[in-house]
Structure 1
Amino acid sequence: MNPLRRTGVLAGILFLVTHVTSVGAVALYGPMLTDAGWMDSDASGLAQRLGAVLDVILAIAVVGTAVALLPVLRRPEPRSASAYLALRTLEASVILLGAVAVLGALAVRGQHAAGSDAAGVALLALYRAAFLVGPGLVIGANTLVLAAALRRTRLVPVWIPVLGLVGAPLVVLSNLAVLFGLQSQVSPTAALAAVPIFAWEISLAVYLIVRGPRAATRADAPDAVGVAAG
């Protein structure tokens, strides 16, 4: 397996890991995010601790996708490669902040000390805010950077970055609507807005694993005509 092919497989696997861990973490957090009385419950909190672990793995995989793609993008798109790495690192940092907030809420839950319930509620609010900013807003920026770079270099079929270029603004607008109280963070419209960006990352991951990235070819170069059809 040549180095370019190995890079594609690694990047694709890491993209899939980000999806599995992000969905798994939210599922494990469960009632912590939906039950107003969770702070006073007697549940062990094991599921939430496992969710925090998945968020840590998610943060590592998020940075890993950018590091894995760095050798592929650095030559044809050096600025995009650096910007993507920086934005993915920022996203991972916000995800870790959310995981720390969850662990903090678990630490104060059930202590019945003065202010402990208020502290727990505040920490859960911090988690929701981190989820809104990191996987909600920052992901839109890094998706635009990567999708535009892939569109210009033809490293993957053109329809894949088009999904990203469509999905990124939608997910940003959806999360801005949440930020300004126009819709709930968990709602049918928010879920619908996330579909294109979900399809973008899954399609990119599968293509990188199965086929690997192509040799970079500038979209505006004369010899790029017809390459996008692949």
Structure 2
Amino acid sequence: MLNDAGYITGGGQDTRVIWGCMLDVVNALTAVGSAVALFPVLRRRNESLALGFVTSRLIEAAIIMIGVVSLLAVVTLRQDYAGLGADATTLTTTGTALVDLRNWTFLLGPGLVPAINALLLGTILYRSRLVPRIIPTVGLIGAPLLLGSAIATLFGVFDQVSGPATLLALPIAAWELTLGCWMAFRGFDRTAVSALTDHEPA
């Protein structure tokens, strides 16, 4: 669908697209869930940053969902209108516009917002020592690189799916993978959690 302008009027793989959209819905829900799960502890270090992190994840999830809806609309166009003798050019143009909408959401949601997430969450984790400092350090280094990559893509310097974009996204990918694994197998440092007090100043 993303690369075939004739998807609507041709033989589309609707089931695969719908499954892909469902996986993106799961992605959006887990983005919010992970922030909400961390909030009770993070707020004890810095409530403003913790609330900012939850808000940022909500924005990321909302943008992802807009992309999902746009792709499902393309499926509807193909199923309900392509077989009714509707103008092929109009259908193709509408479908292309909806795919372009999804591509912009992919840049702004999973492409840009993770940089903001890393700045907010990384700052709290670095200051609180809830995890080894090397983990949030990677996120804090990767955040401006990803932000720069998103801005460069926005202005057409290079494509979002390209060598430079992939290279600039690697630190954020490493940050998210490492933090996820650490939290799954080790969790927060209990001594650091015990040292937190409600509404401790930054």
Alignment of 1:77-92 (within 5 A): 77-92=46-61
| Aligned residue type for 2:119 | L
The SS at the match of 1:43 is coil
Please give the per-residue CA displacement for 1:19-55, whole angstroms capped at 9, x wherever unaligned: xxxxxxxxxxxxx223343333212321111010001
Whole-angstrom distance in 1 between the partners of 2:150 and 2:78: 29
Alignment of 1:49-68 (within 5 A): 49-68=18-37
> What residue is the counterpart of 1:175 in the other structure?
150
Give 1:79 deviation, angstroms: 0.9
2:97 to 122, 130, 140: 122
| Aligned residue type for 1:188 | G
Whole-angstrom distance in 2 between the partners of 1:41 and 1:186: 26
Number of matched residues?
187
Whole-angstrom distance in 1 between the partners of 2:4 and 2:163: 19
Please give the per-residue CA displacement for 1:50-107, whole angstroms capped at 9, x wherever unaligned: 0100011111000011001011101111111100000000000000000000001111
Whole-angstrom distance in 2 between the partners of 1:48 and 1:208: 32
| CA contact 1:109–1:117 (8 Å) conserved in 2 | no
Whole-angstrom distance in 1 between the partners of 2:156 and 2:9: 27
Give 1:113 deviation, angstroms: 1.8
Q: Does 1:113 align with 2:86?
A: yes
The SS at the match of 2:53 is helix
Q: Does 1:165 align with 2:140?
A: yes
Give 1:175 deviation, angstroms: 1.3
Q: Which TM-score applies when normalising by structure 1?
A: 0.77
Give 5+ residue unaligned stretches, structure 1: 1-31, 219-230
Whole-angstrom distance in 2 between the partners of 1:183 and 1:121: 21
| Aligned residue type for 1:177 | A
Q: Does 1:43 align with 2:12?
A: yes
| CA contact 1:108–1:116 (8 Å) conserved in 2 | yes
Give 5+ residue unaligned stretches, structure 2: 197-202
| CA contact 2:5–2:96 (8 Å) conserved in 1 | no
Q: Which TM-score applies when normalising by structure 2?
A: 0.88
CA RMSD of aligned residues (A): 1.5
The SS at the match of 1:33 is coil
| Aligned residue type for 1:56 | V
| Aligned residue type for 1:73 | L
Please give the per-residue CA displacement for 1:130-160, whole angstroms capped at 9, x wherever unaligned: 0111111112111110001100111100100
| Aligned residue type for 1:113 | A
Q: Does 1:95 align with 2:64?
A: yes
Q: Percent of aligned pairs with the same residue?
A: 42
